[in-house]
Amino acid sequence: MEEKKISGEVVFSGRLIKVESDRVKLSDGVEATREVVHHPGAVAIMAITAEDELVLVSQFRYATGETLLELPAGVPAKGESGEEAARRELTEETGYLAAHIQKLWEGYSSPGYSDEKIAFFMASGLTRAAQRPDEDERIEVELVDMAACLELARSGTIKDSKTLIGIQLAGLWQRGEWE
């Protein structure tokens, strides 16, 4: 099951993403159109305190029109490794430094239309530093007990899929079920 690109056209190219409209040939010879959002990839950080609290951020998301509770996350700078980006984003968004950081998993955010991959990093051994959000970010830090995170997920309070995945990964890591 493979699709071969016949032709493509960039319909939008912005600061972060590029959108392409492609004609493809399916494995049975049928032609179809595929719209693809090209994204450089991202990191998400599950930072857990010594008190078993997950460090989350609350911020307004223009695309949804809502303030969402999320994992700290961001896009690696050019030439920056995933681990370096995770450390930088954690400090910028939350004001925490991590003594230990470990990549747990990487996967596609929405493969039906985007090639974005998110790498999930577990951060522990936290100490406080100065929060330094980007100029266009308004972020509030919230420390949430791991058990409460699961209830926030069940209740629908957490609506961000990367955060739901991160809570599950952090729970497995915390119980020693993910190495």
Residue numbers annotated as active site: 135
SS3 call for 66: strand
* Bridge-based pairing state of the strands 42-47 and 117-128: parallel
Q: Give the DSSP letter of residue 114.
A: B
Would you mind telling me the total number of residues written for the chain in this entry? 179
Are 55 and 49 in contact by the 8 Å Cβ rule? The answer is yes
Distance CA 100, CA 177 (A): 18
